[in-house]
């Protein structure tokens, strides 16, 4: 592990099968003051998030829904997956479960987990309540790598 990567012991960190580490979190739940800052963040919210002191991207994604632009979502998630190979990357929404869990499951698909198993993978390794709605689960099942 380099200083630019997460520790698997950091709060909310998901280890993908390749070994890439991504932190998922809910923005309504503050991190402990000693928690490391990300080097890049993807924020899944219905409106623009507040500015952060690290590189970030906003993906318009209303609560309990799906991304407003599916092509933009694929591009943003691919960027997160690529950056996670050597950077501290976080994915966050308001509560850290529905949208964040859906995005993490899509990252698992990009990492080689079959789409039909990705939700179970994220529920087992991130949070048991991840991916909250039937349409979010369907979105993951239909998500395909563009590589």
Q: What percent of the chain has pLDDT over 70?
A: 97
**Residues 6 or more apart whose Cβ sits within 8 Å of residue 71:** none
Beta-bridge partner residues of 138: none
Q: What is the pLDDT of residue 32?
A: 83
* Main-chain dihedrals φ then ψ at residue 53, nearest 5 degrees: -80, 10
Contact 22, 80 (CB under 8 A): yes
Q: What is the pLDDT confidence band of residue 3, given thresholds at 50, 70 and 90? A: low
What angle in degrees, to the nearest 10, is found between the helix axes of 118-125 and 98-110? 120
Is the model's pLDDT at 11 over the cut of 90?
no
Residue 147 has a pLDDT of: 53
Q: What does the pLDDT look like over 93-143, one tens digit per residue? A: 999 999 999 999 999 999 999 999 999 999 999 999 999 999 999 999 999
pLDDT digits (tens, 9 = 90+) for 21-41: 999 999 999 888 888 999 999
Q: Mean pLDDT, the chain, as a whole number?
A: 93
């Amino acid at each position: 592990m380099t200083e630019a990567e997460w520790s698997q012991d950091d709060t909310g960190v998901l280890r993908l099968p390749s070994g890439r580490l991504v932190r998922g979190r809910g923005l309504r739940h503050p991190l402990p003051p000693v928690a490391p800052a990300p080097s890049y963040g993807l924020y899944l919210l219905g409106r623009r998030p507040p500015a952060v002191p690290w590189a970030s991207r906003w993906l318009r994604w209303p609560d309990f829904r799906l991304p407003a632009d599916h092509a933009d979502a694929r591009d943003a998630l691919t960027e997160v997956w690529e950056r996670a190979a050597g950077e501290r990357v976080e994915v966050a929404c308001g509560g850290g479960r529905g949208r964040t869990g859906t995005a993490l499951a899509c990252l698992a698909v990009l990492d080689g987990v079959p789409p039909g198993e990705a939700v179970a993978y994220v529920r087992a390794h991130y949070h048991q309540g991840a991916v909250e709605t039937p349409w979010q689960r369907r979105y993951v099942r239909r998500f395909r790598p563009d590589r």
